[in-house]
Amino acid sequence: MCNKIRKLFLAIFSIGLLLAGCKKWEDHNRITDENIALTLLERLQANPDLSTFTDLLVKSGYADTLASLKMFTVYAPVNAALSSITASLENDNQALKAFVANHIANQAYYSDSVAETQRIPMLNGKYHDITSGTIDDLAFSSKDLAAKNGVVQVLSAFLPFLSNTWEFTETDARMPALQKELMDSVENLFGTRVHNLKDESKNFTLFVLQDAAWQSEVNKFKPHTVVTGNADSTTKVAGWMVLKDLAVDVLYKSAAQIPDTIISKSGVKVGIDKTAIVSSIKTSNGMVYVMNRLEVPLQHKFREIIIEAENYTSASHNRLTNTFIRDKRDSATGNIFRDILVYNHGVAMFNLRYRLTDIPAGKYRAYWMALHDNINNMTTTFNQKIGVDSANSPLPAYVPVPLNTYAEQLAGEFTLTSYRPVFNLFLTAANSTTATANPIVCNYIRLVPVF
Amino acid sequence: MYNRLKPVLSVTLAVLLAAGAYAQNNTPADSNTVSASHTGGMVIEGVVKDAATGKGINGAQLQVKDFSAAIADTLGHFSLKIPNSTATVLVEADGFDARLIAVKYKETLDIVLQSKIIHSFHDLLVMPVGSQYKKFLTAAAEQQQPDGWQQPLETIDAWLQGRVAGLNVIRRSGLQGAGANMFLNGINSLYATNKPLIIVDGMPFDATDYGESIIANNYTNPLNLIDVKDIDNITILKDAASLYGAKGANGAIIITTINAGGRQATQIDAGVYAGVNIAPNPLPLLDAADYRAHLSRMLTSKGMGAAEIAAQPYMNDDPAGAEYYTYHNTTNWQKKVLDNSLSQNAYLRITGGDNIATYGLSVGYMKNSGIVKNTDLERYNTRFNADFNFTEKLTGSATLSFTYSNQNLKDQGIADKTAPLFNGLIKAPFLTDHIVAADGTVSPNLAGVDMLGIGNPTTIIDKIEAFNKYYRFFGSFKFKYDISKYFTASTLIGLQFDKVRESYFIPSQGLVQDTLWNDIATNRMASQVKQLFSLFNDTRLDFNRNFGYVHSLKASLGVRYQNNRANQVNVITANSATDDMVSVQNGLAALRRVGGDMGEWNWLNTYLAANYGFRDKLFLSLNLALDGSSRFGIEAANGLTIAGRQFPLFPSLSATWLLSSERFMASSSIDLFKLRACYGISGNDDIGNYTSRYIYTGQNLLGATGSVRKWISNPGLQWETVSKLNAGLDLAFWQERVTLGLDVYSNRTTNMLVYQPLQTVTGFSTALTNGGEMQNNGVEAALNVRIVNRRAFKWDLGANIAKYKNEIISVSGSAIYTDYAGATILTTAGQPVNQFYGYKTEGVFASDAAAAAAGLSKENADGSYSAFKGGDIHFADVNGDKIINENDRTIIGDPNPDFFGGITNRFIWKGFELNALFTFSVGNDVYNYLRYRLESQSGVENQLQSVLNSWRTDGQETTMPKASWGDPMGNNRFSDRWIEDGSYLRLRSLNLTYNIPLKPNAAFKNIAVSLTGNNLFTATKYLGYDPEFSASVSPLAQGIDTGLDPVFKSIVLGLRLGL
């Protein structure tokens, strides 16, 4: 009943009430810039100098995308810039799509809103670096053509659709064979331990060695990468030793920008001799420099190893109640350090094991810092030793721990004859069950390769 | 109770005894001198004609009061004895306006009577003491006779809009029964009330909403309890209200409700009404697609990267996506909260009686639904008025009314999390109100708070519970004893008692949670009870005598006493276990806050009113009141000291010269020409019950409870004094078809309450003092013309217009800055009381270069400076220091209208009557808070379509600044961007009534069908739902659109039956 009454009333009076038109709102909401009422596609179509790109848009199917009401930025090359490439795109729809999408980004990037260099994704998954007036160092010839759903930046050249650095190493003919071969075989390892060169959102610089340079560098490291009974593996490990320091996640756009020495992700200093650059290749996510020589000295490549004693992998017996992690102040430097003390454990030759990886072959000199600060009012010294591969290896020998000495002490020398993917080092207490004779104390152990 | 009544009774007794004693001394001969004719005098002849037809009126009654009477013959001829040649003849005839004719030495009278005209000078006005013909009034007053049958759903305050010159009626909102704020003759006070005193049937009707509602921005309007159909007439007394002493500063509105009017025949009137309320047109907000583009702009401005934005579920246009259907809707949220609704009203009135008693009784029921869904107002009203003749000399009357209303409310105005209208505006249109499954199936369950942090308006509509139950008893008994022919004693004892009970519940689901000081409120609940008890007595002695029909003297001496008690108790708590437990006892005890207030105040008013008339052409009135009030400080100055308390004296003197009754105008075609002047002093006692006292308030210090001073008491605190000078001219000509009233006035408020800033060492920031002064001048005019006056067709046109100019003379300190809804309101000497004080803007910087050229910057919170850039607002650098800060603020708007008024139009053609009322307000500036929220582009809220113009690129010329998250440059600060012209012309009401012609012996006396439209048409440039709103009774909050439920159109169809 109510509904009937309501309908009747509404029917009678709605006509009369419609007369109050909303002219005031029309005035207030009128679009002040006609262009803002246009979609990006309409905006592009209205510009004759962008007709070639607009045609490509339509052909590629991205025109529909630009007519939708999400925000985009279109980096539109002028007709003249496209004359050289249209032919090649004509019959390759996939390439066309990739090419067109390489010029469209989600969200509107007005020149004003980009304060510093940003790396932004394009619809094809590639990224470009933009500043307020440039994209990949290409200046806008006309900027900030605003539309309803975004903005058009006009370019005097197109943005080439490039491979990324990893794709370069995989597919490009300019890639030297030997390094390519190794990189192929360590694809995942390189991606996780060094840099993921497939990541479009970042920029990388990769140095590539020509075959001869590669071979000589690999040969240089072979004595330290001996895998017993497997020459191939020896070569491969040596190759990895070379390769792991050849990529950085910094973009050096030109040789001039490269510093004399770069520091690789694993901390190795790599000296770059710019005269050795044979060629440079731009990729979608960085630069590749082909070198005919890139030598890293052994002492740079093989760096000393510091083992924090309290970070042991395992103990020979469960003596957690006798194990003390101590924070101490180094009276010499004034810095705080943390060491480990195992006291009154009651086990002869109690030991802590340290699991190390990727240890090259060679001779090592071991140092430790072991502070015997009158432990439990002891006034006598005690002995401890470093064990190589086993807790009671013959070498190095037991070394006494002097009283109240903060300085580093030589703990002995040992030689590894082969490359060790995994290597166990031990810190072993005296062969005694007496509490005052068999403590273990150590801040750190330092292994210094000796060449 | 007896103690309370004691002073009333003793005063009453004393007056009655004194009067009785005086009466004994009178000669009995004086007491029966009323007779049809007197000896002496002369005879005058003439004719009474109908103005429309020119024919004589058969049966017209003529009389000289208390002297002689005659009846005209079939041709309208009469002959009447008159006491002297300056006498006044009262001519009455059925269906015609009565007329008072001055003989002016003429020998024959040619009298023309008009059929009922809206405003006649011959109306008998109910005045503070007794009744007076408007023609003989010395005061500026006028009468309204509301036809509630035509506008059944109005409250009386809103009904008065546009009808009385100088009465600025601003409706509070479109909420049912919210009524209106009334400012009579400008603004007279800053912090005390500006509302005229409202008298209903001789007793002050307390129309104040004591204490705040627990429902956001709800106003409990006591005037809603009076059914307009119950009102017989209203007198609007603009000056000479000194008789009401310390309550008369803002004039008075005197309401008289139904009575039999001396007719003993039983008259039964019944009316039934049904109507539809029409939801306003939605504001033009961004649609779903535009909103999404706007939102991505906002998120970019927030600092989100392109990939992050593209990953938002609403950006994924793949229909296979799990949340595609949740985020791809086109919901008009305004339509989810606003809807057309229905109204119903039924009313029955019976009047009648016999020679012992006559009565008027009425019952009514109203249900009026709001345009915001799930809001309505239900009202049951009853009234019983009766007049008794106990003996020949002792008469009495009773007026009893009881009204109950039950209102279903929602939060409105500034309540971001809970107001349905506001949430309906800001909610993302791509969402919908129900949960949607991945395949697009819509669940019956309501959606919760969305991922943008905005609640669900449908949940607000469906689940918030906010009730207001209100009843009031208002009644009085009056006894009158005719001591002698000249003396009458009377006393009135009345009682008003009301109770407001409110309950409020906010559920946890679907609404943004509120943060309390010690918890997060999931759901919230509150309850409040407010009570008012008021006892009133008015006892007086009247003297009325004319001396030889040359001099007349009416005098009254009386005393009024009023005792009031008000209290308020509220409980607010939160976090009950489930949303099914909605009452306060279920909330967490730790979150419970109990508050309240109590007040008691007394008013004693002794008054003398004396009116002297000479030959019915010269009149003098003297009014005197001596007021005592519990509110006045004991050390107040400027009053008479009686028993250690202060009693201010409020006199007023007024004079009138009726030039048209002079002999020299005997042959003039001007029917009435009258000059009036009045000077009076009255007071405003709305200074707070205990503000002059030492008050302690509870204070918690480290877990211990103690008492501290609430404020620095000011024992010298006194009433505000308002001196009023009023001069007026009344004119009527063309057989009174044209009437004109013109008034100028100058009011000066001294001892005006202000908050005096204090030194920090006092521990208080302000103290209340009488340090302010204000001037309020104005002019107003009312013109009524009967343009066409034929027998079958009559056209009355009326117009009234008023202007006031308000100026602060002084306030303590140089200026008062009041912050309200983001606005700053300036009160300073030399300016009107309420000026919008903010920044001037000069457009939007089109480019960084343009901004750099201007070189403006703003200071940040950390002391650094940020330069304005392209797309920022160009604020005017008023002081030229290149820094935009509060020193650059200036006056940017004035909410006071240049002029305002109304236009009435009435056509009568046969049985049809068409009434149209237009109201207008011109030149009042409005701060559009709602548009400020809907164009600020600083968050995720939906915005008006105008933000499509927002600045994006360097060099873009636009008026809309750039979207910037959080508005770091303050582009949205209170500036002239948000100030608009609130002028409007509105077809306030349009009524078409058809009186069905009936045969004389029909079952019904009359049947009328009426169709009424309210607010049908509004011409305004204001960018909002409606240009009329009033967020608070304070003059400082006028002209601020806080987004209250808007005034809406409505149409009511009615049927009235008379038996």
pLDDT at B699: 83
Q: What is the pLDDT of residues B473-482, one digit of tens each?
A: 999 999 999 9
Residue B316 with chain A: CB contacts under 8 Å? none
> What is residue B340's DSSP assignment?
-
Nearest CA-CA distance, residue B1042 and chain A, Å:
19
Distance from C-alpha of B523 to C-alpha of A376, rounded to nearest angstrom: 62
* Cβ contact B396:B388 at 8 Å: yes
Q: What is the rounded (10 degree) CA torsion for A126, A131, A135, A136?
A: -70
B613 or B955, higher pLDDT: B613
Which of A31, A107, A112 is nearest residue B949 as measured by Cβ atoms? A31
Q: Give the span between the Cα atoms of B281 and B334, in whole angstroms.
A: 9
The torsion angles phi and psi of B394, rounded to 5 degrees, stand at -105, 115
Contact between B221 and B275 (Cβ < 8 Å): no
Q: DSSP string covering B1022-1045, please? A: -SSS-S--BS-SSGGGBTB---PP
Summarize chain B as % helix, strand, coil (round to 5). Answer: 15, 50, 40
Report CB contact under 8 Å: A151, B309: no
d(CA B299, CA B308): 9
Which of A22, A112, A120 lies at the smallest CB-CB distance from B848? Answer: A112
**How many Å apart are CA B654 and CA A66, to the nearest integer?**
79
Chain B positions in Cβ-Cβ contact with residue A121 (cut-off 8 Å): 306-307
Side chain identity at B547, as an amino acid letter? F
Vertex A261: Cα angle to A257 and A266 (nearest 5): 115
CB-based contact A272:A258 (threshold 8 Å)? yes
CB-CB under 8 Å, B1020 with A24: yes
> DSSP secondary-structure letter at B95?
T
Burial per residue of B765-790, b for 16 or more beta-carbon CB atoms within 10 angstroms, e otherwise: ebbbbbbbbbbbbbbbbbbbbbeebe
Residue A8 has pLDDT above 80, yes or no: no
The answer to whether B900 touches B870, Cβ cutoff 8 Å, is: no
* Helices marked H in B408-514: 420-426, 457-463
Q: How would you label B137-154 residue by residue, b for 16+ Cβ within 10 Å and e otherwise?
A: bbbbbbbbebbbbbbbbb
CA distance B758 to B767: 7
pLDDT of residue B971: 94
> What CA–CA distance (Å, rounded) separates B463 from B524?
12
State the Cα–Cα distance between residues A371 and A330, nearest whole angstrom: 9
Which residues lie across from B1022 on neighbouring strands? none
Nearest Cβ partner of B952 from A17, A24, A110? A110
pLDDT for residue B614: 92
Distance from CA of A244 to the nearest CA of B (A): 31
Provide CB contacts within 8 A for B558, sequence distance 6+: B15, B129, B538, B539, B540, B541, B606, B607, B608
- Contact in structure between A315 and A353 (CB atoms under 8 Å): yes
Predicted pLDDT of residue A16: 40
Query: How confident is the model over A257-268, as a mean pLDDT?
Result: 90
**B965 and B295 Cβ atoms separated by less than 8 Å:** no
Which chain B residue lies closest to A15 (C-alpha atoms)? Answer: B1016
Token pair of B307, please?
Answer: 């990939």
- When pLDDT is averaged across residues B12-36 and rounded to a whole number, the result is 42
Nearest CB to B297; choose among A19, A32, A71: A71
- pLDDT the model gives residue A6: 53
Strand pairing of A444-450 and A362-369?
A: antiparallel
Identify whether the C-beta of residue B433 lies closer than 8 Å to the C-beta of residue B448. no
Residue A263 forms contact with B (CB below 8 Å)? no
**Predicted pLDDT at A25:** 85
pLDDT of B435 above 80: yes
DSSP labels, B190-232: SSS--SPEEEETTEE------S--SSTT----GGGGS-GGGEE
**A130 within 8 A of A114, measured Cβ to Cβ:** yes
Judged by a CB distance cut-off of 8 A, whether residue A4 touches chain B is no
- Cα B612 to chain center, whole Å? 34
Q: Which amino acid, one-letter code, is at B1047?
A: V
What pLDDT is recorded for position B29? 37
pLDDT for B23 equals 42
Lowest mean pLDDT among A33-47, B422-436, B675-689, B1007-1021: A33-47
- The sign of the CA dihedral B222, B227, B228, B233 is negative
pLDDT in tens, B452-509: 999 999 999 999 999 999 999 999 999 999 999 999 999 999 999 999 999 999 999 8
Q: What is residue B314's three-state secondary structure?
A: helix
CA B858, CA B864: separation in Å to the nearest integer? 8
Lowest mean pLDDT among A20-34, B30-44, B583-597, B1036-1050: B30-44
Within an 8 Å CB–CB cutoff, is residue B969 touching chain A?
no
Largest CA distance in chain B: 108
Angstrom distance (rounded) from CA B1037 to CA B823: 10
Alpha-carbon gap, residue B1014 to B1049, rounded angstroms: 5
Q: B597-642: per-residue pLDDT in tens?
A: 899 999 999 999 999 999 888 999 999 999 999 999 888 888 888 8
Nearest to A301, CA basis, from A266, A268, A262: A268
Cα R_g (chain A), whole angstroms: 34
pLDDT at B459: 93
Cβ distance B276 to A113 less than 8 Å, yes or no, reads: no
Question: In this structure, what DSSP letter does residue A44 have?
Answer: H
pLDDT at B759: 86
- Distance between CA B655 and CA B1007 in Å, rounded? 46
CA separation for the pair B486, A203 (Å, rounded): 109
Is residue A100 helix, strand or coil?
helix
Distance, in angstroms, between B426 CA and closest chain A CA?
A: 17
- On the question of pLDDT at B870 being above 70, the answer is yes
B residues 332-391 closer than 8 Å to A (CB): 340, 342
What's the pLDDT tens digit per position in B294-315? 998 899 889 888 888 888 899 8
Q: Residue A35, exposed/middle/buried by CB under 10 A (0-12, 13-18, 19+)?
A: middle
Residues B764-805: pLDDT tens digits? 888 899 999 999 999 999 999 999 988 889 999 999 999 999
Q: Name the CA radius of gyration of chain B, rounded.
A: 32
Residue pLDDT, tens place only, A156-186: 999 998 999 999 998 988 989 888 988 988 8
Distance CA B544, CA B569 (A): 49
- CA of B943: which chain A residue's CA is closest? A29
B932 vs A63, higher pLDDT: B932
Which helix (H) or strand (E) segment holds residue A16: the answer is helix A2-17
Q: How many beta carbons lie within 10 A of that of residue B124, not counting itself?
A: 15
Cα torsion B163, B164, B166, B169: sign:
negative
Do B395 and B259 meet the contact criterion of CB atoms below 8 Å apart?
A: no
Q: Beta partners for A314? A: A353
Give residue-wise pLDDT tens across range B530-556. Answer: 999 999 999 999 999 988 888 999 999
Looking at beta carbons, which residues of chain B come within 8 Å of A19? 1017
Look up the ipTM and state it: 0.76
The answer on pLDDT for A10 being more than 70 is no
Q: Which of residues 135-154 of A touch B (CB under 8 A)?
A: 143-146, 148-149, 151
Which residue, among B316, B422, B429, B410, has the nearest Cα to B372 in the 3D structure? B410
A198 interface with B at CB cutoff 8 Å? no
Tokens of A9: 């009333």
Calpha distance A252→B816 (Å, rounded): 64
Q: How many residues does chain B have?
A: 1059
